[in-house]
Chains A and B, each alone.
Chain A
């Protein structure tokens, strides 16, 4: 008898909070709004903790049905929830990091006019994200998928009176929808061929299909289409263009949605569908290639950005590329591991960046920062921890997760590994560039110890400095405590995944093992190489066994070296000899312009896709069809009626004899008709 954990409460509680804040928020005080939002989010987090406590006693996977939804013939999709190790990890990450960011937002958004609206949307986002994570069929997951896209649109365009923010929101939603189109087609394929969208049934069916080594088949198609959806949601090539623009939203939004949780939905979805992907090697390879290329591509752009949030945005795209690379080499648990650690340190980095922006009165351009180390120490130290974590320096969280991915990538192909290491170098470089530019050297901005001058620079977003704040000041405690907690997690978060070669037992991998191991295709299982491999490392996710702990240690050392090299280069260029970057960019002028303009991808899309679409729509659909056909039909019908009646009115001449004439003629016709039809 499966115990009923009331899983439905976990998504529902934030929904109630959203409803309360949404409908009543106008009339509530800020304290009340914050309390409502935090209470419901916190309650959801508490429920998640409770579930995790009870987890060991459950039969896995644990499914609960809340209510029937669609029953159509043999097709059935219910409001049902699915709990296994993977969902538990996602659940804890989403609720935990979400709760911390809620706390942070109370401080960050305190001066804002739309305070209640912000928390309404934030809670709404939590509802949809939790639905996505806990769903037990693809349809409910799709609802959560779409819903987080909606919440993202609402939150990016939070300052909707600003054109750039409104456009960024639209762009995010539309690009997401393109990905969702692929997702939908994949769902349709599943319905057609499997007749169901429930996870357990779909994976049962998929498991009966042989591995499609020849390349093209049903599972490859489904896998590729799911990847299109994931590329849209998780900002991979070619649908990543919305994420840098999404930085128009408030910083907590960037932290929660565009770093820690929403963008990871794609990774979660791919990991959840691993049964399908494992049997479609072509699709898997495409996933890995997309991930690798995106990682490299985004890292190169991040090197030349001057806005602190844009650097972090491209960094997010790049790290998501790593996660997809991991999934693409069938190292799903490594991908999820990186997802978790990334949520910690990227969330931390964004929140700290928000703290920096708040401190200097709304400025986001790094060229106008510098030397903030003494002014905002807490922010400085937490950001330092985050930067070291993302660079992958031992023993912080990023090291273990990134290393795991690189190690598994190497076993698939050394090309993946090489690009991954080079990207790690770039990651370290641009993160420490950010670190140095922001906190070291001389302060180059205009906010000072005296009363500030509020700049209305059109390019920056973020909350304007409130008139009450003077000069550079540390953030309030309500913002610093989440920073501290996330910093702590960034330090220790990786320790659950210490691989055997470094002395640990990789508990994370073992924990997720049952999810990914159970349905791995039997084809690629090879016996473990004799000797060295510690039993905990036998993640039989379908690839060749490891070649020894010595090699793994060597590779780990190489990645740490790359990270340190990046640190050194950043120090060199931005602290020691700050005139160098100018000379280098002048020397490489063409390349530098291309990179700093994001390789003109947005402009390319505008010319190739957007402009023809808009032109086509306005010429063909608007003028041609709407005006020319639909309006014209109505107008012409009315005109025709008028013309007919106009010509018929001449019969009413008022002349008695003409009436008589018509009557006589009509009578003759009637008589003729009657004779003709046989009336006698």
Chain B
């Protein structure tokens, strides 16, 4: 009972945050809504027993990625969105397509997953277990992902560097 109540409350917060993201015109408001969504999602994960994932969600997603978003918004001094014409195709084809796709997908998943109940804390995921799996069965993806991150860092530095600073470094170095 408590499980269901908590689920519904935090689920509502998720949905509200998501809708708010769509509605808000200023990107900073949208960013803050997204932080709210992520926080509630972390609670949902806890309800399912995935402690480590919940923690990582808060630390990495909400704490790092969203902070990055906020920094960029401030850096670029993004203002309110202007109302430009945009694309007819996006509205005409995209929205119906999206609706149809998600409804269909949802229908399939629901009819085949049934209404079995997932108890609270169904699958505990303590860090020890996660680490075991991660460094034994999923070692290769782990290493590859670390390379990916390295590349991403380098790419970000290169792409975002000021052209003058590049010249300067060349001259100096």
Contact = CB atoms under 8 A, between A and B. Distances in A.
Interface of A: 653, 655, 657-658, 660-669, 671-672, 675, 680
Contact of A664 (B88, B97, B112): B97
Given A653-B87, A675-B108, A680-B108, A660 B101 contact: no
B97 A658 contact: no
A665 B89 CA distance: 10
Contacts of B89: 653, 655, 657-658, 661-662
B91 interface: yes
Interface string B40-53: 00000000000000
Contacts of A653: 87, 89
A657 B90 contact: yes
Given A675-B108, A680-B108, A658 B101 contact: no
Nearest to A653: B87
B96 interface: yes
Given A657-B86, A657-B90, A668-B104, A680 B97 contact: no
Nearest to A680: B112
11 contacts: A653-B89, A655-B90, A657-B90, A658-B88, A660-B94, A665-B96, A665-B97, A668-B96, A669-B97, A675-B104, A680-B108
Contacts of A658: 87-90
Interface in B135-153: none
B90 A660 contact: yes
Nearest to A651: B89
Given A660-B94, A665-B93, A680-B112, A672 B87 contact: no
Given A661-B94, A664-B93, A665-B96, A671 B87 contact: no
Contact of B93 (A655, A662, A675): A662
A657 B87 contact: yes
A668 B90 contact: no
Contacts of A672: 100-101, 104
B92 A661 contact: yes
Contacts of A663: 94
B160 interface: no
Contacts, number: 59
B94 A664 contact: yes
A663 B97 CA distance: 9
A661 B101 contact: no
Contacts of B104: 668, 671-672, 675
B163 interface: no
Interface string B60-102: 0000000000000000000000000011111111111110110
A328 B2 CA distance: 122
B173 interface: no
- Which of A653, A669, A671 is packed against the most chain B CB atoms within 10 Å? A671
Contacts of A675: 104, 108
Closest 8 A/B residue pairs (Cβ)? A661-B94, A665-B97, A668-B101, A661-B90, A658-B87, A658-B89, A657-B90, A668-B97
Contacts of A660: 90, 94
Interface in B89-129: 89-98, 100-101, 104-105, 108, 112
A185 B87 CA distance: 72
Nearest to A650: B89
Contacts of A667: 97, 101
Contacts of A662: 89, 93-94
Given A655-B90, A657-B94, A668-B98, 17 more contacts: A653-B89, A655-B86, A655-B87, A655-B89, A658-B88, A658-B90, A663-B94, A665-B93, A665-B97, A667-B101, A668-B96, A668-B97, A668-B100, A668-B101, A671-B101, A671-B104, A672-B101
Contacts of A661: 87, 89-94, 97
A235 to B, nearest CB: 79
A661 B87 CA distance: 9
Nearest to B101: A668
A653 B89 CA distance: 10
A672 B103 CA distance: 10
Contacts of B95: 664
A481 to B, nearest CB: 98
Contacts of B87: 653, 655, 657-658, 661
B110 to A, nearest CB: 13
A399 B104 CA distance: 109
A146 B96 CA distance: 76
Nearest to A676: B104
Contacts of B96: 665, 668
A651 to B, nearest CB: 9
Nearest to B112: A680
B96 to A, nearest CB: 7
A93 B107 CA distance: 101
A669 B112 CA distance: 20
Contacts of B94: 657, 660-665
A589 to B, nearest CB: 91
Contacts of A669: 97
A531 to B, nearest CB: 114
A649 to B, nearest CB: 14
Contacts of B93: 661-662, 664-665
Contacts of B98: 664, 668
B38 to A, nearest CB: 23
A662 B87 CA distance: 11
A663 B104 CA distance: 16
A531 B108 CA distance: 118
A10 B100 CA distance: 90
A668 B95 CA distance: 10
A667 to B, nearest CB: 5
Contacts of A664: 93-95, 97-98, 101
Contacts of B105: 671
A660 B95 CA distance: 10
Contacts of B90: 655, 657-658, 660-661
Nearest to B111: A680
Nearest to A656: B87
- Which of B89, B96, B108 is packed against the most chain A CB atoms within 10 Å? B89
Contacts of B101: 664, 667-668, 671-672
A160 to B, nearest CB: 70
A485 to B, nearest CB: 98
B84 to A, nearest CB: 10
A446 B92 CA distance: 99
B95 to A, nearest CB: 8
B105 to A, nearest CB: 6
A672 B89 CA distance: 20
A653 B90 CA distance: 12
B134 to A, nearest CB: 30
A282 B104 CA distance: 87
Contacts of A671: 101, 104-105
Contacts of A668: 96-98, 100-101, 104
Nearest to B105: A671
